[in-house]
């Protein structure tokens, strides 16, 4: 085993036995749980060089969780997870601060994806997490997508290392503050090229969001957020040592209307995002002078519980080459997706998806725009 892995496991073991103040683990009411997700995926791809290919595979994601008593002010949360596929090359378990690629882990990878100490102020409801945790700020739609901060979607694993503060504000609003520490080699969540932490002095990022928790007429979701990644944008390419700050904003909105007395609901939702500082077109492999656009958007229409437990949703979105922090959308891409969801039991969900993606602008010397179609059927069980 590499020395870095031995040191990391030793540090984890030490943390687990530390006598944290106000916590008495011998008397704690420990809760064990997790989830397993299995599915079959198939995809068809038209590549930029003019070739076409297809593939199919079985996938599984397994996550185990253990936590001390959530009713107490202090809580310890630990989780181990793995992502697997029928065509994986092998199995690799590691404990490090970065994923092997910019958008996820490899099939066969396992890691500690949760390890944090949570404090909750009993009177105000303010919570603070310190350590490793997963974040998700997806729209409340059947496809469940976000333009920013969705760490572990589909069969993937993702995490944030740092601290997370959530505190209630006036009139049903809440404040989210996330300070993240990244590795020189990468991060635990999505950061697309040419974002890079190898040459930066900081290797940190900040996420701030305000979110309404109370409905406002038919409006159920209102959220404004900001991401700031200092000294990490290689506007002229990764081989150039110059780095700029990457700053982006996002706005989410969703509304719901009841249809009849059976519980059926129509939900419409959307999100807009903009990056203020973007790489050059040459860096992104696109023809022409200047910088690429930094806009992104998605819109969705959903019918929840058209029969008890059965829901259907569709989403369409476009992301320009300068929006680099979405786990669900590739840069320079447009996406259309339809998804059916069956809540078979309170702990079991079955989903069927069709997705289509196509590049917006063709790259220099590419024979055609890249285009992908894929389907999956998957079942998720929470235990």
Q: What is the pLDDT of residue 199?
A: 83
Q: What is the pLDDT of residue 73?
A: 95
Q: What is the pLDDT of residue 24?
A: 47
Q: What is the pLDDT of residue 239?
A: 87
Q: What is the pLDDT of residue 368?
A: 97
For residue 159, give every residue at least 6 positions away whose Cβ sits within 8 Å of its Cβ, in sequence order, or none.
113, 114, 132, 133, 134, 151, 152, 188, 189
Who wins on pLDDT, 5 or 265? 265
pLDDT tens track for 67-96: 999 999 999 999 999 999 999 999 999 999
For 3-382, give the CATH class.
mainly beta
Return the percentage of the chain with pLDDT > 90, whole number. 88
Q: What is the pLDDT of residue 49?
A: 96
250 prior amide bond cis, ω within 30: no
Looking only at Cα atoms, what is the longest distance across the chain?
Answer: 66
Q: What is the pLDDT of residue 135?
A: 96
pLDDT tens track for 22-62: 444 455 689 999 999 999 999 999 999 999 999 999 999 99
Q: Tell whether the model's pLDDT for residue 10 goes beyond 80.
A: no
Q: How confident is the model at residue 17 (pLDDT cuts 50, 70, 90)?
A: very low
Q: How confident is the model at residue 7 (pLDDT cuts 50, 70, 90)?
A: very low
Mean pLDDT of the chain: 92
Q: What is the pLDDT of residue 28?
A: 60
Beta strands in the chain (DSSP E): 31-46, 52-67, 74-85, 92-94, 109-120, 127-133, 160-168, 173-181, 204-212, 219-233, 244-258, 265-275, 295-307, 310-319, 333-345, 348-359, 371-382
pLDDT tens track for 268-305: 999 999 999 999 999 999 999 999 999 999 999 999 99
HSE (side-chain half, CA atoms, 13 Å) at 176: 19
CA dist., res. 46 & res. 373, Å (int): 9
Q: What is the pLDDT of residue 144?
A: 96
pTM of full prediction above 0.75: yes
Average pLDDT score over residue span 312-338: 98
The domains of the chain are located at 3-382
pLDDT tens track for 122-158: 999 999 999 999 999 999 999 999 999 999 999 999 9
Compute CA distances 153 → 71, 87, 198, 292, whole Å. 28, 20, 26, 27
Return the percentage of the chain with pLDDT > 70, whole number. 93
Q: What is the pLDDT of residue 6?
A: 40
Residue with tokens 């079985």: 58
HSE (side-chain half, CA atoms, 13 Å) at 230: 9
Q: Tell whether the model's pLDDT for residue 3 goes beyond 70.
A: no
**Burial class of 19 by CB neighbour count within 10 A (0 to 12, 13 to 18, 19+):** exposed
Q: Tell whether the model's pLDDT for residue 13 goes beyond 80.
A: no
Q: Tell whether the model's pLDDT for residue 14 goes beyond 90.
A: no
Instruction: Give alpha helix (H) positions in the chain.
Output: 3-16
CA dist., res. 339 & res. 376, Å (int): 10
Residue 226, both tokens: 């900001």
Q: What is the pLDDT of residue 330?
A: 97
Q: How confident is the model at residue 200 (pLDDT cuts 50, 70, 90)?
A: confident
């Amino acid at each position: 085993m590499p020395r870095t892995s031995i040191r990391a496991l030793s540090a984890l073991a030490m943390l687990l036995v530390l006598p944290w103040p106000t916590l008495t683990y011998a008397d704690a009411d420990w809760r064990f749980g997790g989830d397993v997700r299995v599915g079959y995926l198939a995809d068809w791809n038209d590549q930029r060089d003019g070739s076409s290919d297809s593939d199919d595979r079985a996938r599984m994601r397994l996550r185990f969780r253990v936590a001390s008593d959530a009713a107490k002010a202090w809580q310890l949360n630990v989780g181990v997870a793995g992502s697997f596929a029928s065509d994986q090359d092998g199995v690799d378990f590691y404990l490090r601060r970065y994923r092997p690629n910019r958008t996820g882990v490899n099939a066969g990878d396992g890691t500690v994806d949760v390890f944090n100490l949570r404090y909750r102020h009993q009177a105000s409801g303010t919570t603070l997490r310190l350590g490793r945790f997963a974040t998700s700020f997806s729209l409340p739609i059947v496809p469940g997508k976000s333009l920013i901060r969705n760490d572990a979607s589909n069969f993937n694993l993702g995490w944030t290392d740092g601290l997370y503060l959530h505190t209630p504000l006036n009139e049903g609003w809440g404040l989210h503050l996330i300070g993240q520490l990244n590795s020189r080699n990468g991060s635990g969540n999505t950061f697309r090229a040419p974002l890079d932490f190898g040459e930066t002095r900081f290797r940190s990022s900040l996420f701030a969001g305000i979110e309404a928790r109370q409905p406002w007429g038919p409006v159920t979701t209102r959220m404004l957020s900001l991401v700031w990644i200092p000294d990490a944008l290689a506007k002229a390419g990764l081989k150039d040592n110059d780095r700029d700050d990457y700053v982006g904003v996002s706005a989410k909105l969703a509304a719901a209307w009841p249809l009849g007395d059976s519980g059926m609901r129509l939900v419409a939702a959307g999100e807009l995002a903009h990056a203020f500082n973007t790489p050059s077109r040459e860096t992104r492999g696109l023809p022409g002078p200047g910088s690429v656009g930094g806009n992104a958007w998605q819109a969705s229409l959903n019918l929840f519980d058209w029969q008890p437990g059965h829901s259907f949703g569709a989403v369409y979105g476009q992301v320009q080459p300068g929006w680099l922090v979405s786990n669900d959308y590739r840069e320079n891409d447009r996406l259309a997706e339809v998804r059916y969801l069956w809540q078979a039991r309170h702990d079991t969900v079955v989903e069927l998806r069709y997705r289509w993606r196509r590049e917006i602008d063709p790259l220099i010397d590419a024979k055609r725009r890249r285009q992908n179609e894929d389907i999956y059927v998957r079942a998720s069980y929470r235990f």
